[in-house]
Structure 1
């Protein structure tokens, strides 16, 4: 059965990037170990500890579709139509790029509910990953998220882009986490409570 989860690397004070979209303080754990985990894009290979490697291999094997917002899509140039995790991407945007045909594996839609529905269709029996803070918050408010995943990095950034902000339907209650200790990051996986 398809599961919808969010996954972000986050600082201890709740930020997924600095105010200028910088991630240098956060993504060091992707190169902090001895176990090599190749992605579907040759230039992106992780070198992590054994437990983080198992986690990343699971994400790679189970990713059926990825949902993001237009901002992340633009910052990454749409990953040149091939996200390192491998799956097709669904972008939530009110204005698709004029040259959208440059990204044939990418779907553009104008609302979160439609994006999740489309991503589930694309994913089949694999998982849908939401990789955008704003989209994750909206999807959580809409009751569309099954799990929240955090790779928690031991840094305090002081300011930046928060993982979850301006939640309209808070509080959202989560089950106790599955905790995977790693080098440079502690990985937390929380099932969303449905009560």
Structure 2
């Protein structure tokens, strides 16, 4: 069965983007080294440190599908039909986009509820990982009790305001002890079980 993992680059104060959705310095670690790591689609290659490159390649190799929300889909124009990680994408949305057609768009599935989206993503992923985008989608998957792990690429910056990793801040979210800690330039890669 697939493992559902929320993953994002985040600031020390828990934001995954600035208020205008720009990641700002949260993505600086993608260019902090000399190891070129290609992407699928039209995104230029990353230039990672050897440590981050090994971590990133392991993460990408584990993926079977991504689960994202309509907001991220719209901000990226659905990555023009090809996600940079080169895996199929399930989009949680109440309204399927009309007229959106790119080569590769057959790798995108649209689902109206969290349950339908998780079912579709896990069916595609099989025994592999479903990468769950941060924000509202990660919050909804966690609230449904379906999230297995939380990954944070922790960047040494305080943004002060922006888009939160989890949007429901009504109470504490207690995670388990770290399963992995990888220290690199401009980022620390952390992996936690979603439950203590």
TM superposition score category, shorter chain reference: over 0.9
Is 1:113 aligned to 2:140, yes or no? no
1:160 paired residue among 162, 170, 173: 162
Contact 2:81 2:101 (8 Å CA) reproduced: no
TM-score, structure 2 normalization? 0.92
Contact 1:39 1:60 (8 Å CA) reproduced: no
Deviates more, 1:61-70 or 1:158-167: 158-167
Is 1:19 aligned to 2:33, yes or no? no
Contact 1:72 1:132 (8 Å CA) reproduced: no
How far apart are the structure 2 equivalents of 1:143 and 1:11?
Answer: 25
Aligned to 2:186: 184
Aligned to 1:129: 131
Q: Secondary structure at the match of 2:30?
A: helix
TM-score, structure 1 normalization? 0.93
How far apart are the structure 2 equivalents of 1:110 and 1:73?
Answer: 14
State the 1:41 CA deviation: 2.9
Give aligned pairs, total.
193
Aligned to 1:2: 2
Is 1:95 aligned to 2:95, yes or no? yes
Contact 1:64 1:88 (8 Å CA) reproduced: yes
Deviations 1:19-50 (A, max 9, x none): 10111221000000122222223543111112
Aligned to 1:61: 61
Unaligned runs of 5+ in 1: none
State the 1:106 CA deviation: 0.6
Aligned to 1:140: 142
How far apart are the structure 2 equivalents of 1:14 and 1:174?
Answer: 14
Deviations 1:125-183 (A, max 9, x none): 21100113110011011111110000011111110011012157x54432111211011
How far apart are the structure 2 equivalents of 1:99 and 1:55?
Answer: 37
Q: Secondary structure at the match of 1:104?
A: helix
Aligned to 1:174: 175
Aligned to 1:77: 77
Contact 1:138 1:167 (8 Å CA) reproduced: no
Structure 1 runs of 4+ with >3 Å offset: none
How far apart are the structure 2 equivalents of 1:51 and 1:12?
Answer: 20
State the 1:16 CA deviation: 0.5
How far apart are the structure 2 equivalents of 1:100 and 1:116?
Answer: 22
